């Protein structure tokens, strides 16, 4: 199900607000919108004392920005005829950022915005914590996103893993709206035949449900994430569905990984599941 979702706003969420509102309308889903409180642990740089001082000094300004962001979302939702719940900071409804992953468990998925186009996620990025701790899918909107949500062409990244299988199952409400679903496996000389067999079965399942779907193998020795993003651009895909963080988020952060590459270089919204 994708009927109830949490929208996490931060500074520079300009792309997220119109996309989330349009996704709510397209999916007939109910959004709950929060601007979580930051604490000292959420800041990347400086000593503990400096971080505490920064949080204390920025508190009133952060509350003002949070209120303005929530009101901007409320206005956009009202204009679109969407009922949305705003968690206002002045009445203590905003969750502290350290409990956001646990808070997100009450929803079908969480929607966030990529922090900055072309930049790798930092320690204080929500996406890794949400994926690893919430038990729910995370829908990430690129910072460069300008189009509203649409699902005419959907790309499913299939590697035969458990996370990819979970993502496929969670995305069924998107598939039923698609004019075309492309299930794509990036193959190399070491890819087991069973991966392609699984992708073929997924395409057949969608076809039996009267959803236009096809399976592709894309031979490539380059980074699979780069190959997927290139395919998505060539196919003019509206959204990608894929598994996320098959390794631990810490390992991905330290050594790279497919999820980290996608979050850094994404050019279309991506629904991750783990």
pLDDT digits (tens, 9 = 90+) for 180-204: 999 999 998 888 999 999 999 999 9
- Structural tokens at position 56: 């204390």
| Spatial distance between the Cα atoms of 262 and 8, rounded to a whole number of angstroms | 19
Q: In this structure, is residue 164 part of a structural domain? A: yes
pLDDT digits (tens, 9 = 90+) for 104-159: 999 999 999 998 888 877 767 788 889 889 999 999 999 999 999 999 999 999 99
The verdict on 265 and 158 lying in the same domain is: yes
For the chain, what percent of residues have pLDDT higher than 90? 65
Q: How many domains in the chain?
A: 2
The verdict on 206 and 269 lying in the same domain is: yes
The verdict on 160 and 90 lying in the same domain is: no
Q: In this structure, is residue 131 part of a structural domain? A: no
Residue with tokens 């956001």: 100
The verdict on 27 and 120 lying in the same domain is: yes
Q: In this structure, is residue 145 part of a structural domain? A: no
Q: In this structure, is residue 59 part of a structural domain? A: yes
Q: In this structure, is residue 137 part of a structural domain? A: no
What are the start-end ranges of the H helices in 99-212? 100-103, 126-133, 162-170, 172-175, 193-208
What pLDDT shows up at residue 240?
98
Mean pLDDT in order along the chain per 10 residues (274 residues): 93 94 97 80 49 53 85 96 88 73 95 88 80 93 96 97 96 97 93 95 98 94 88 97 77 64 94 94
Question: What range does the domain containing 99 cover?
Answer: 4-125
What pLDDT shows up at residue 89?
75
- Structural tokens at position 144: 């460069």
Residue 113 · residue 140 · CB < 8 Å: yes
- Structural tokens at position 128: 């890794």
């Amino acid at each position: 199900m994708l009927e109830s979702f949490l929208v996490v706003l931060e500074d520079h969420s300009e792309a997220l607000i119109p996309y989330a509102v349009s996704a709510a309308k397209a999916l007939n889903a109910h959004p709950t919108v929060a601007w979580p409180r930051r604490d000292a642990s959420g800041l990347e740089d400086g000593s503990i004392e400096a971080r505490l001082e920064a949080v204390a000094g920025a508190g009133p300004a952060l509350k003002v920005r949070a209120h303005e962001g929530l009101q901007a979302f409320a206005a956009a939702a009202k204009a679109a005829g969407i009922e949305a719940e705003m968690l206002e900071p002045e009445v203590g409804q905003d969750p502290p950022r350290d409990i956001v992953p646990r808070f997100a468990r009450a929803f079908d998925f969480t929607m966030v915005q990529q922090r900055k186009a072309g930049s790798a996620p930092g320690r204080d990025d929500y996406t890794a914590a949400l994926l690893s701790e919430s038990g729910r899918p995370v829908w990430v909107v690129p910072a460069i996103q300008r189009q509203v949500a649409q699902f005419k062409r959907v790309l499913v990244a299939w590697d035969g893993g458990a996370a990819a299988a979970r993502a496929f199952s969670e995305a069924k409400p998107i598939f039923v709206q698609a004019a075309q679903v492309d299930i794509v496996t990036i193959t190399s000389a070491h890819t087991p035949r069973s991966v392609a067999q699984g992708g073929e079965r997924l395409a057949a399942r969608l076809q039996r449900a009267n959803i236009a779907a096809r399976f592709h193998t894309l031979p490539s020795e380059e980074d699979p994430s780069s190959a997927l993003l290139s395919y998505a651009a060539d196919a003019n895909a509206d959204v990608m569905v894929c598994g996320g963080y098959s390794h631990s988020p810490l390992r991905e952060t330290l050594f790279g990984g497919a999820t980290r590459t996608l979050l850094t270089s994404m050019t279309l919204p991506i629904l991750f599941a783990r």
